[in-house]
Structure formats: C-alpha cells, structure tokens
Amino acid sequence: MGTEAPRRGVPMWARFALALVAALLAQALVSALVLHHLFFLDPQQAELRRAVFHAMMRLYGVKPSPLRHLLLSPLSTTLLSALLVAAISVPLVRRLSARLRRLQGAVQALGNLDLGARVAVEGRDEVAALATAFNDAAGRIEALVQSHKSLLAYTSHELRTPLTRLRMAIEAIGAETPETPALHEARRDLAELDHLIGSILLFSRLDAGGRRVLERADVDLLALAAEEAARDAIEVQGDWAHVSGDERLLRHALRNLLDNARKHAPGQPPTVHVQRNARGASLRVCDRGPGVPAADLERIFEPFVRLRGRSGDGSGLGLALVRRIAQLHGGDARCEANPGGGACFVLELGEPPP
C-alpha cells in the first residue's frame, strides 16, 4: 500500500514571492523613513531641497506636478525596484518549485512500488544533482528487485524437474505396493509443493510484467463467480456486473478466496456477493471462521506471511496473489470483520469496459 500523500499547502514559489515582497516593502519603508529623517526633518533644508528639485525639473523641461513628485520620491523608486526584483525572481523560483514537485512525484511513485519511476534532469544545479542521484538509486533498486525476482522464478522453474521425477517414482512405488499412509502423505506433500511453485512463478510473472501480462476481455463477474462457486454448491448473490480484465486471473483470485474460506470454516459454506459500483465492481467472500485480528488485516496480504499459531495455512502466497491481481485490474483487496463472526475478503475491481 502506498503512503498517504501530504495535504497540499501554499506552493513554495508563492511563499517565496510573499516573503520577497514583504522584505522589499519593509526595505522601502525603512529607506523612506531614513531619507525623511536625514533630509526632510529640518523645514528650512527641506524647503531648499524642494526648490532645487523643482529647478532641476524646469531645467529638463519637466513640469512639476504632485504625481511626478510622488513617482520620483525615494519611497516610489524603492517600491519600483522591489517590483522589478520580484518580477525577475518569482518566475525563477516557480520553475525551481515545479522541478521539485516533479521530483516529489517520482519519489512517491517509487514508494508505491513503481520501480520504473524516473525524473528528468534539468540544468546543472543542486536540484539536477538530486534528480541524478534519485535516478541512480531508483535504477539500482529496480535492478536488485528484478534480479531477485528472476532468481526466484528461475529457481522455481528448475524445481519442476526433480519434482516430476519424484512424482513418477512415487507413482511407480504405488503401482507395486499397496497404498500406505506414508505414500498418501508423500502424494499430498508433492501436490502442495507443486502448487507452491506454481504460485511463486505466477507471482513473479505478474510482478515483472505488470499490466502487460493481462489478456483483457469483457468479463461477466456474476457469471464467473457462479461457475466457481458451483463446484461446492455455494450460492452467489448480487448484481450483474461487467469488468474489463483477464478472466483466467480473476478466476484464480476467486478460487484462492474460496479455498481460504473453506480452510478456515470447513463445516460452513462461505457466502459470495457481487456488487456493481461507480468504478466497476466488487466481489465479497465471507466465512464463519475464527476471523483475522485487527492488527493483521494488512499483513495477511504480504507474501509468505502466515498468522501466528496457524502453521497449516498454506504457503502465504494466496492472498498476496489476490491483491496483486486486484491491483493489476485497477482495484485492491482488503479484509474486514464479518458482523456475524469470521472474515470478509473484498476484491475491488476497476472501471468497467466502455
């Protein structure tokens, strides 16, 4: 989950402009007071300077007037200087602020697991050096994560060969000897290992390929849920809802939720409900199991995380895959407490097809 973006306040360039204007106005006021104290405090000297000033204006053919006197006063000239400095400085600071906002957006994107986030390097100043350092760090992080994903996918793929040989050996032993509890347990462990390898490969492919791996089509979510729930005679209720998505991955996510519900409430069938909303649709699977502690409502969607005291709860990849599939479809997955006891897993999906 991404961190919440901070509330937007007054832009930096606007704060700088206000501070600059306030400083220049203060400077103009102080300058005017100092000049008035030095040159206009004595009435006789002030009258003499006014006469010299009017003589100079007549010498250059300028007719004296209160407006011209105001424009040529020390306060006015200081204010005009302040406005000129502001007119030059504010666009420069605004451009700098825009570059910092773009850098902030790239940092937030990287924090939301967009490993390809980069920022354009503009100029040769400190902000450009910061952008270069960010791009280098993001590139190293992306390469490291991709290396780990490739290693995990390669290792999982290579495990299929000895796994197949083991399965063939167990089947050969089973054909020659009667079925024993140990042989049955070996078959079950092999099936669990095969499922784990398949989940790891799928998770790696979805992480590496992103939305490019989706084979989008118009999916009738209510019909899909009814088909999957019919395997265990589970009734599905809700709205007719169509979403644009990968039907195979959506089936996989729903099967994981149904398997999770059966595992934690084996004697009571879960309830499945489809609801259409403004963004697309949501799929809710509720069980009557022991529920999920409030502190673990987010942790259970992390890969390989299993709740304390539930060592038999599978590999810990099922719910992580559910969330990843939901995110690839423009939505998310979450867990809520079931009012009647147990847990409800909600699969939110994005916008419907046009």
Please state, in angstroms and rounded to a whole number, the distance separating the CA atoms of residues 116 and 127: 20
pLDDT of residue 2: 42
Region 301-307: mean pLDDT is 79
Mean pLDDT rounded to a whole number for the chain: 78
pLDDT of residue 353: 43
Q: Look up residue 14 and give its amino acid.
A: A
Given a cut of 50, whether residue 6 has pLDDT beyond it is no
Given a cut of 50, whether residue 15 has pLDDT beyond it is yes
Given a cut of 70, whether residue 166 has pLDDT beyond it is yes
Given a cut of 70, whether residue 318 has pLDDT beyond it is yes
CATH number for the segment(s) 140-211 = 1.10.287.130
Q: What distance, in Å, lies between the first and last C-alpha atoms of the chain? A: 28
Domain ranges of the chain: 12-112, 140-211, 214-349
Q: Look up residue 241 and give its amino acid.
A: A
Residues 14-39: b if buried by 16+ CB within 10 A, e if exposed: eebbeebbeebeeebeebbeeeeeee
Give me the phi and psi of 173, to 5 degrees please: -65, -40
* Spatial CB neighbours of 116, under 8 Å, sequence gap ≥ 6: 142
Domain 214-349 has CATH 3.30.565.10: yes
Task: State the pLDDT confidence band at 283, using cuts at 50, 70 and 90.
Answer: very high
The two tokens of residue 145 are 């994560």
Given a cut of 90, whether residue 272 has pLDDT beyond it is yes
Q: What is the DSSP string of 162-217?
A: HHHHHHHHHHHHHHHS---HHHHHHHHHHHHHHHHHHHHHHHHHHHHHGGGG---E
Q: Look up residue 260 and give its amino acid.
A: N
The two tokens of residue 25 are 């106005």
Label residue 314 left, alpha or beta by phi (over 0 means left) and psi (-120 to 50 means alpha): left
